[in-house]
């Protein structure tokens, strides 16, 4: 990857973490301290901060101030952190570790983890509604509405998670897996990109381009996630195109549907398609193009 891109990713990560630290409640406050500690524990652990990178980068395309861009980016990262906490719960994916440390319910307890997730989700909307995010209330309302749709039940992240929980891998066609993944992880990527366009009151044409980029990148991200998971669990058949069962849980993944080699081809094709959607931005899209290549070649 280019040094310029990696240094920008690091720059956004560091500024975002300062912002998150400031927005999260101090963990030494009253009888709720345990809740605040759990929120800080989960959010301030070592995430890649990919979604905030997209929000900050697309905001720059429209000349948005850093104050506004990082508010929106922080809200989106809080929602991402909530989804990870709840996804790790025994009732969902039942994972003991997240970001190299015990998952929130393991470190604290299930009730605290549920409340920490709920509080992060609601804090995110409080931040989006703040006039630091944008002085124009109609822009804030549009942003709140778009984020709510992206992470809700109908067509959004929660709906995708429900499909994932109820569907056995053999029940789903490749189109259905695509829809599931688009809802479960793609919509948050999409709104992370769209946030910059909403804050910048961008033209329809530019928004459509960014949305196309984001959806393709979201699917490419999910495929590379499946590939990394596959390769870390079954190292000796790393290069095989055999169909596998994701984390031994019978989940529908792009690899269960396509096999690993075809899944890799699909990810590469999606990254190319994502870049094609950026034509209208000419050379201003350099960072987003690098992001697409970064997703395709990532190793974590």
Contact call for residue 185 and ligand GRG (CB under 6 A): yes
Q: How far is the CB of 57 from ligand GRG (least distance, A)?
A: 15
Contact call for residue 19 and ligand GRG (CB under 6 A): no
For the chain, give the DSSP string: --HHHHHHHHHHHHHHHHHHHHHSPPTTSSTTHHHHHHHHHHHTS----HHHHHHHHHHHHTT--HHHHHHHHHHHHHHHHHHHHHHHSTTTT--SEETTEE-HHHHS-HHHHHHHHHHHHHHHHHHHHSTTT-S-HHHHHHHHHHHHHHHSSSSSHHHHHHHHHH--GGG--HHHHHHHHIIIIIHHHHHHHHHHHHHTT--HHHHHHHHHHHHHHHHHHHHHHHHHHHHHH-GGGTT------BTTTTB--HHHHH-HHHHHHHHHHHHHHHHHTTGGGGGGGHHHHHHHHHHHH---
Contact call for residue 267 and ligand GRG (CB under 6 A): no
CB 60 within 8 A of CB 27: no
Contact call for residue 47 and ligand GRG (CB under 6 A): yes
Q: How far is the CB of 101 from ligand GRG (least distance, A)?
A: 11
Contact call for residue 150 and ligand GRG (CB under 6 A): no
**What is the distance of C-alpha 147 from the center of its chain?**
12
Which of 27, 158, 167, 269 is close enough to bind ligand GRG by CB under 6 A? 158
| For ligand GRG, the closer CB: 132 or 228 | 228
Contact call for residue 157 and ligand GRG (CB under 6 A): yes
| For ligand GRG, the closer CB: 207 or 298 | 298
Contact call for residue 83 and ligand GRG (CB under 6 A): yes
Contact call for residue 200 and ligand GRG (CB under 6 A): no
Q: How far is the CB of 81 from ligand GRG (least distance, A)?
A: 8
Contact segment (CB under 6 A) with ligand GRG among 55-63, 82-90, 122-130, 196-204 equals 82-90
Q: How far is the CB of 89 from ligand GRG (least distance, A)?
A: 8
Return d(Cα 147, Cα 79) in angstroms, integer: 9
Q: What is the sign, positive or negative, of the torsion defined by CA atoms of 39, 40, 41, 45?
A: positive
Contact call for residue 225 and ligand GRG (CB under 6 A): yes
Which of 71, 103, 161, 266 is close enough to bind ligand GRG by CB under 6 A? 161
Contact segment (CB under 6 A) with ligand GRG among 45-53, 56-64, 230-238, 277-285 equals 45-53
Contact call for residue 121 and ligand GRG (CB under 6 A): no
Contact call for residue 163 and ligand GRG (CB under 6 A): no
Q: How far is the CB of 270 from ligand GRG (least distance, A)?
A: 15
| For ligand GRG, the closer CB: 19 or 86 | 86
CB 291 within 8 A of CB 217: yes
How many residues form the binding site for ligand GRG (CB under 6 A)? Answer: 16
Per CB under 6 A, residues contacting ligand GRG are 47-48, 50, 80, 83-84, 86-87, 92, 99, 157-158, 161, 184-185, 225
């Amino acid at each position: 990857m280019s040094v310029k891109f990696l240094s920008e990713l690091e720059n956004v990560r560091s500024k975002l973490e300062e912002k998150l630290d400031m927005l999260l409640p101090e963990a030494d406050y009253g009888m709720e301290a345990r809740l605040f500690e759990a929120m800080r524990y989960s959010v301030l652990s070592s995430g890649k901060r990919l979604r905030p990178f997209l929000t900050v980068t697309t905001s720059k395309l429209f000349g948005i101030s850093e104050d506004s861009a990082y508010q929106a980016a922080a809200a989106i990262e809080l929602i991402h952190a909530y989804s990870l906490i709840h996804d790790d719960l025994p009732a969902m994916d039942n994972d003991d570790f997240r970001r190299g440390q015990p998952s929130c319910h393991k470190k604290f307890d299930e009730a605290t983890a549920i409340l920490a997730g709920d509080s992060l989700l609601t804090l995110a909307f409080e931040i989006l509604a703040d006039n630091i995010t944008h002085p124009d209330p109609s822009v804030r309302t549009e942003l709140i509405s778009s984020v709510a749709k992206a992470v809700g039940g109908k067509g959004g992240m929660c709906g995708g998670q429900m499909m994932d929980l109820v569907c056995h891998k053999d029940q789903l066609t490749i189109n259905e897996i695509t829809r599931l993944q688009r809802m479960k992880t793609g919509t948050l990527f999409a709104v992370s990109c769209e946030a910059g366009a909403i804050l910048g009151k961008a033209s329809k044409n530019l928004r459509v381009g960014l949305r196309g980029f984001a959806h393709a990148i979201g699917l490419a991200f999910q495929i590379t996630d499946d590939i990394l998971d596959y390769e870390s669990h079954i190292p000796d058949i790393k290069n095989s195109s055999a169909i596998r069962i994701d984390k031994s849980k019978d989940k529908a993944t792009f690899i269960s549907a396509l096999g690993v080699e075809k899944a890799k081809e699909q990810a590469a094709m999606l990254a190319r398609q994502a870049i094609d959607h950026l034509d209208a931005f000419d050379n201003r899209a350099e960072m987003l193009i690098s992001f697409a290549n970064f997703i395709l070649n990532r190793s974590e």
